């Protein structure tokens, strides 16, 4: 038996419970992992509250990111041995494979050896953020050197990873955040410019920053009415990639901007990359190279102890964080 994070009803962080669950011995092709750190994502808070694209099967576990140590391997597993420091490729389903538990089994072909010099806390903050950013900006949008990319929710773990990825390919990342409070931190993190969406006109400010070439790529985690302002600043044949829906308001389709500039508005999930072995291998290599060169730095907003797991959810939902919220066991 081991302790896992579970909930029996959807709702706020108070529904989260520590519960004993049985952990089966690793079967053929599986590894048993003792967790050392979890990365938190807004996906988990939405899943817990019943607002995610996947509906929990109650009672439910949750969790997309974990780093830990291999405890045992199943038959046929040769790539890993007990004692190896590893992380997981985020699962496509939290219903089928929740990973926020003290120990869990996982397919060996979905496990990654932790990069050299990266501890468990940093490893738990790496793969979801950088695989998401790479998949959207490089694999999908083909972001190129010299282009301007606008990034909403820029102080989130994915937003900061997207700034790193954009700079890695020579593009100009423009960070969009609600107020000026995080402006200096975003500039220090590599943003070429910062737009405070609650304090200045987004479309006009983006257009001024981008210049005559406009914004070809937008990475948006929010949706809602602001999509209209983002689309209005985009270049002809630009692509707006929506990977989240943090806004509680409906998202209007920006018809006139889409028609006049032949825009593509496209939904995206990291699973497009993680479920394709060829694309996943390219993404992992890209991230590992960025980490090794120092171009990529997983930024940790705050680390909570395992016993404060619900409090970590509250902090994530406060929007006060700058980077990844991590739970350490």
Q: What percent of the chain has pLDDT over 70?
A: 100
Helices 277-293 and 157-168 meet at what angle, rounded to 10? 80
Q: Identify whether 276 is part of a domain.
A: no
One domain for residues 215 and 323: no
Q: Identify whether 280 is part of a domain.
A: no
Range 158-181 average pLDDT? 97
Number of structural domains in the chain: 2
Q: Tokens representing 43?
A: 């996906």
Query: Which residue in 130, 205, 140 sits closest to 163, CA to CA?
Result: 130
Range 61-86 average pLDDT? 97
**How much is the pLDDT for 119?**
96
Q: What percent of the chain has pLDDT over 90?
A: 96
Report the C-alpha gap between 40 and 38 in whole angstroms: 6
| pLDDT surpassing 90 at residue 1 | no
Q: Which CATH number fits the domain that encloses residue 319?
A: 3.90.180.10
One domain for residues 117 and 155: no
**How much is the pLDDT for 209?**
94
Report the C-alpha gap between 89 and 177 in whole angstroms: 28
Residues 20-47 pLDDT 10s: 999 989 999 999 999 999 999 999 999 9
One domain for residues 117 and 8: yes
| pLDDT surpassing 90 at residue 113 | yes
Report the C-alpha gap between 45 and 54 in whole angstroms: 12
Instruction: Find the domain containing 203 and state its range.
Output: 129-271
Residue 256: exposed, middle, or buried by beta-carbon count in 10 A (0-12, 13-18, 19+)? Answer: exposed
What's the whole-number average pLDDT of the chain? 96
β-strand partners of 172: 148
DSSP H or E run through 120: helix 120-123
One domain for residues 12 and 31: yes
Residue 67: exposed, middle, or buried by beta-carbon count in 10 A (0-12, 13-18, 19+)? Answer: buried
Dihedral Cα 257, 260, 263, 265, nearest 10 deg: 40
Range 188-196 average pLDDT? 97
**How much is the pLDDT for 161?**
98
Residue 248 CB: number of other CB atoms within 10 A?
Answer: 8
Evaluate the omega torsion of the peptide bond into residue 240 and state whether it is cis, within 30 degrees of 0: no
Q: Identify whether 282 is part of a domain.
A: no
DSSP H or E run through 283: helix 277-293
| pLDDT surpassing 90 at residue 48 | yes
**How much is the pLDDT for 215?**
96
| pLDDT surpassing 90 at residue 262 | yes
Higher pLDDT, 151 or 1: 151
β-strand partners of 5: 18
**How much is the pLDDT for 6?**
97
Residues 195-242 pLDDT 10s: 999 999 999 999 999 998 899 999 999 999 999 999 999 999 999 999
| pLDDT surpassing 90 at residue 110 | yes
Query: Which residue in 4, 28, 7, 30 sits closest to 18, CA to CA?
Result: 4
Domain boundary pick from 271, 287, 320:
271
Range 280-297 average pLDDT? 97
Let me know how many helices (H) and strands (E) the chain has, helices first.
11, 16
Full DSSP string of 220-245? ES--STHHHHHHHTEEEEEEEEE---
Q: Identify whether 223 is part of a domain.
A: yes
Domain boundary pick from 271, 289, 311:
271
Residues 298-317 pLDDT 10s: 999 999 999 999 999 999 99
One domain for residues 143 and 51: no
């Amino acid at each position: 038996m081991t302790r896992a994070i579970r909930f029996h009803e959807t709702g706020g962080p108070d529904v989260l419970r520590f519960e004993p669950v049985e952990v089966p011995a690793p079967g053929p092709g599986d590894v048993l992992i003792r967790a050392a750190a979890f990365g938190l994502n807004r996906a988990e808070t939405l899943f817990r509250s019943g607002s995610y694209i996947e509906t929990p099967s109650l009672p439910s576990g949750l969790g997309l990111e974990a780093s830990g140590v291999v405890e045992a391997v199943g038959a046929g597993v040769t790539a890993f041995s007990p004692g190896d420091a590893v992380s997981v490729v985020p699962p496509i389903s939290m219903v089928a494979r929740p990973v926020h538990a003290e120990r869990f089994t996982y397919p060996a072909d979905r496990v990654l050896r932790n990069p050299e010099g990266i501890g468990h806390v940093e490893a738990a903050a790496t793969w979801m953020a950088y695989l998401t950013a790479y998949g959207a900006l490089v694999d999908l949008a083909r972001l190129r050197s010299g282009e301007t990319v606008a990034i909403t929710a820029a102080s989130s773990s994915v937003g900061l990873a997207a700034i790193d990825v954009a700079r890695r390919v020579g593009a100009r990342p423009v960070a969009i955040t609600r107020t000026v409070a995080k402006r200096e931190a975003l500039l220090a993190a590599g943003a070429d410019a910062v737009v405070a969406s609650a304090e200045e006109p987004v479309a006009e400010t983006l257009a001024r920053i981008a210049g005559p070439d406009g914004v070809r790529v937008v990475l948006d985690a929010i949706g809602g009415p602001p999509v209209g302002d983002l689309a209005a600043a985009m270049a002809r044949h630009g692509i707006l990639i929506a990977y989240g829906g943090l806004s509680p308001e409906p998202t209007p389709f920006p018809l006139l901007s889409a028609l006049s500039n032949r825009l593509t508005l496209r939904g995206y999930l990291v699973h497009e990359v993680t479920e394709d072995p060829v694309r996943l291998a390219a993404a992992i290599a890209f991230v590992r190279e960025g980490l090794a060169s120092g171009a990529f730095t997983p930024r940790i907003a705050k680390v909570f102890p395992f016993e404060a797991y619900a409090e970590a959810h509250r902090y994530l939902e406060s929007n006060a964080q700058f980077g990844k919220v991590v739970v350490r066991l």
